[in-house]
Structure 1
């Protein structure tokens, strides 16, 4: 859910800026994409990351890199388009489900891979960081969903 939240934040942050001044925001957006992607590529390229670990943390990191690249495309597209087509919103929400599943897999693999901290430390700690980010973003969406449910009007009030 971490990548889903980053796209959400990029979209809503860009709407505060007038349309003709969004080029500066695209620069900030590129910096955030680099902050997310560069550490993952660094850990992926490390020789220690290919050592044996009981859990497939390297495969999971590869999936995370692929989803991060897709998320960067969504973030750039969402900040440039106004209005965003419904089909793009639908694909964004499907991506959110994929991101949620990947975050859940990351959490499970990381929690069961404590021994990998000795054999593949960079890979294990990157997985731990992604797990914490996923848990934080899931909490964010749980609070946001709860607020959305409490602010909805009751059905009887809407009919009157």
Structure 2
């Protein structure tokens, strides 16, 4: 969910800036994308990363790099388009599900690969960083979703004067 959160932050961050002054933020967004991608590509290119490890951490890092490129595309497109088409939002949310699955796989693989810290240290510690980022972002969206659910206004049925949890009041 870490990559999903980065695109989310880029989209909501640029909406605070007037349209005429968004170029600086877009440049900052490109720089931040490079900061996220550079360590992953560095670890992927290291010869030590191809050593034997019981868990497929290298394959997982390759998937993370691929999703990072997709996330960078989403963040660029979301900062350029106003309004964003519904079909793009739908594909972004599908990407979020993929990012969540990848974060879950990263967490499981990292927790079961403690022996890889000796054979492939850079790869293991990159997986550890991605695991912490994934757990943090999942917590962020869990809290955000909980707040969204608690902030919903209950609807009062005028006939019985009782609260209903969702939907408009239905006339009898």
Q: Tell me the TM-score normalized by structure 2.
A: 0.91
Match of residue 29 from structure 1:
29
1:154 to partner: Cα distance: 1.7
Q: CA RMSD in A?
A: 1.0
1:152 and 1:77 map into 2 onto residues whose CA distance is 30
Match of residue 119 from structure 2:
119
Between 1:15-24 and 1:52-61, the stretch displaced more is 15-24
1:20 to partner: Cα distance: 1.2
Match of residue 80 from structure 1:
80
Q: What runs of 5+ residues in structure 2 fail to find an aligned partner?
A: 157-162
Deviations 1:27-64 (A, max 9, x none): 10011101100000000000000000000000000000
1:10 and 1:47 map into 2 onto residues whose CA distance is 34
Q: Report 1:3-152 matches (<5 A).
A: 3-152=3-152
SS at match of 1:82: coil
Which has the higher relative contact order, 1 or 2, with Cα contacts under 8 A spaced 6 or more apart? 1
Deviations 1:41-96 (A, max 9, x none): 00000000000000000000000000000000000000000000000000000000
4+ runs of 1 displaced by more than 2 Å?
A: 155-160
